[in-house]
Amino acid sequence: MFYSRFKKDISAAKKRISFSGMKIADTKLGKIEYTTFGEGLPVLWVHGILGGADQGTLSSQPLINKGFELIAVSRFGYMGSPLPKDSTPAAQADLYAALLDELKIAKVSIVGFSAGGPSALQFALRHPDRCSSLILLSAAVPPYKVPSGITRFIAKKFFQSNFIFWCLAKYFPTLMMSMMGVPKPIQKKLSAADKKWLDNSMFSFLPMSDRINGILNDIWISNPDLNKIYPYQEVTVPTLIIHAVDDPMPPFTIAKGIAGQIPNSKFLPIKSGGHLHIGHQSIVKLSISNFIVNNQKSLGSTSTNAQHAAWQDQV
């Protein structure tokens, strides 16, 4: 009975992924997995650790209004996106631009959540002509302490095991929510809707074995890249940084300090809710949506089709 429940949930996860509409783009810089949904202004949606393009609808739904075309990607090593030799955030940002070339999209807003923050920042720095606005949502910040070698071994064994992860999600949800950055005081007062969303989010990480290379890359390559000290003062695109005071992961004070270094930036402090802004997602949704609309600078039109046509005229 116990193991049959596991097999049933894994089967459901694989079925969900098969219906997620994911595709592989073979760009000039390599392959990248993505999916698109919605209609309107184009937004590149960059997931955090444990994520993937398959989670795009679930992760974006509480954080952005309708009226946007979401392009959700799988970062290096996640799901169907291969892990190249150069798996730095800068290389990932260049691959985002190459994906836009394939999709014939001239310019997007980019939302980088958690460990997706470094590559979103690099996209704004390296491709400002393709970026109408940058939103950093609970984004990773420096300094980042690189775990020891034995930790890498343990992490690999843990995240490779779909069964172990399933057991935690199924029978130790409190521990799982803590791992997801939901503080214990917030866990005690979750609404029914928040509980359901968190439960769905936990099981959306399955199968973990399809995400292991990306997870390890985030821990040992992508997040540590922030220690190089990014030139935040050189970010020229409009930037919105959203961070909760009680986020147990990236420190609030450092995120606020980074916002102060970016010339054209706004900082939205969330008083509670942790890494996922539980209980305050409505204000986050409104802020992100309004910021994108107010700063989207397409080629003479706010319609995606018109933007595609204008881009095709250029190439």
pLDDT at residue 275 tops 60: yes
Question: Are 68 and 60 spatial neighbours (Cβ–Cβ below 8 Å)?
Answer: no
The pLDDT-based confidence of 158 (bands split at 50, 70, 90) is: confident
* Tens digit of each residue's pLDDT (9 = 90 or more) over 94-104: 999 999 999 99
| DSSP single-letter state for residue 234 | G
* Tens digit of each residue's pLDDT (9 = 90 or more) over 196-239: 999 999 999 999 999 999 999 999 999 999 999 899 999 999 99
- Using a cut of 0.95, tell me whether the model's pTM lies above it: no
Q: pLDDT value at position 157?
A: 86
Q: Is 273 exposed, middle or buried (0-12, 13-18, 19+ CB in 10 A)?
A: buried
pLDDT at residue 184 tops 60: yes
Domain that holds residue 58: 2-314
Taken in order 278, 284, 285, 288, the sign of the CA dihedral is: negative
| Type and span of the H or E element at 240 | strand 239-244
Q: pLDDT value at position 297?
A: 53
The rounded distance, in Å, linking the Cα atoms of 39 and 203 is: 27
Q: pLDDT value at position 313?
A: 41
Mean pLDDT of 12-35: 96
**3-class secondary structure, 120:** helix
56: domain CATH number? 3.40.50.1820
The pLDDT-based confidence of 305 (bands split at 50, 70, 90) is: very low
Structure tokens at 264: 């054209």
pLDDT at residue 301 tops 80: no
Please state the domain count of the chain.
1
Mean pLDDT of 175-181: 96
Average pLDDT, the chain: 92
Among candidate residues 54, 20, 40, 42, the one with its CA nearest the CA of residue 103: 42
pLDDT at residue 174 tops 60: yes
| Residue keyed to tokens 């049933």 | 8
pLDDT at residue 59 tops 90: yes
The rounded distance, in Å, linking the Cα atoms of 249 and 310 is: 42
Percent of the chain with pLDDT over 90: 87
